[in-house]
Structure formats: structure tokens, C-alpha cells
Amino acid sequence: MRFIQYGIIVLIVLAMTAGCAPQRLPLEKGERIPLSQVLQQTLRHYEGITTLQTPLFIQLELRDEYYVLRGVLLYERPARVRLQLSSSLGGTVGEVIYNEGLISILLPSKGRIYQGRIEEGEGKGGDSLFLILVYNDYVEMGGRHFPTRIYGEGEGMTIRFNVRLKDPQVDIALPEGAFNPATAGWELHPLSELKGLLPGSEREEK
């Protein structure tokens, strides 16, 4: 699914904005999942949860550099996600909002929103890319059993990540309009331009 592919790009861009962390991630053995099925597979572990709100702690290893991000995750069934990420110093480095097919990526440092629609069934090329995923540190809450830690490693890709949910709350009312970003005062760009921010891209900023 293209949501996951763009999610990986966003993590890389935001991590470079946030700066390096001093430690490596240990290798772990897990389930091999096609990139196009990662979101669906992950949501199965949270089946039965209507809403989820939780602070996050993210460790990211990219090539030979290591990063720490903190954030807040909002989730509402069936397909609404908002992820706000900040650096270890506390400043917001970006947000990702997915609302039933429409994805918006906010980069405050550039004053830009990258936005586009991702239709179901797109991104079949993701079947040739795989992530190794580990779900653990399960908790019982509100009659639900779900993981509070997700480890991932890109097969054949120089990326590893470790995501921890801190003090999650389930089935609570979320802020009104949480999945509809305000665009006033931001430059609006198509989602396809986001790849031009990656290092080594041949696309130049205008």
C-alpha cells in the first residue's frame, strides 16, 4: 500500500530534520510481510479498538545513522490516522494525516503540506518489497489485547525502526477535526514531490 511507502519516506525526512541519536538497534527475528500488506496486518493486532490515542517513542536506524523521535498517534476506525512527530528537543518536525484515502504530510520547517489521494488497490509494487515485523509487549485495556511495541526492518533496505506506545488510551473521544488539517498559510504541494526531499534525489528545489 502506498501509505506505507510514503510513511517510510516521511520517517527518513523527519529523522534527518530531528538529528542523530547515539545508539544502534539490535537485530530481531520476526514475520516477513509484503510492504503492501503492512498496514492491514498491523491493524489486525488492534482489532476491536474503535479509537486509540497514545504518545510514541521512535528509534530509527538509517544506513549508519541513528535517530530518536517522539510523537503522538491518533487512530480511528476504519481508516483514519494522525501522527505528530517531534525531535528529542521537543520541536515539532512534521505530521502525517491519513483520512480514508487522503494523505497529508505537514513539514513546518518548510511551511509545506504534501497532499494526495491513495486509492485502495494501488501500490502493487509493494509486493516485491518486504518488512520484517515484530509485535510484542502486549497489554490488556478496555477488554482489548494489543501490542505496545513494533519493531521493523526493511528487507534489503538500510532501515530499521522501533516504535513504543506510551500510556495508550483506547475507545475515547478524539478531538473534533483531528483528521482534517488546516491548510491556511501553508504551501500546498502534490504528494509526488515529497520524494524530491530525499538525499541523492535528482530533483532540485525550486
- For residue range 38-58, list pLDDT tens digits in order: 888 888 999 999 999 999 998
Contact 116, 122 (CB under 8 A): no
Domain membership flag for residue 201:
no
Domain count for the chain: 1
Domain at 69, CATH number? 2.50.20.10
Contact 110, 95 (CB under 8 A): no
What is the pLDDT, as a whole number, of residue 3?
53
Domain membership flag for residue 181:
yes
Give the predicted TM-score (pTM) of the model.
0.78
Indicate the pairing of strand 80-86 with strand 92-99: antiparallel
pLDDT reading at 89 higher than 50: yes
Contact 55, 70 (CB under 8 A): yes
Domain membership flag for residue 34:
yes
Domain membership flag for residue 202:
no
Q: What domain range includes position 104?
A: 2-194
What is the pLDDT, as a whole number, of residue 201?
42
Q: What tens digit of pLDDT does each residue of 142-187 get?
A: 888 999 999 998 887 778 889 999 999 999 999 888 998 888 889 9
Domain membership flag for residue 142:
yes
Q: Between these two residues, 103 and 173, which has the higher pLDDT value? A: 173
How many C-beta neighbours within 10 Å does residue 4 have?
22
Q: Which three cell numbers stand for residue 180?
A: 482534517
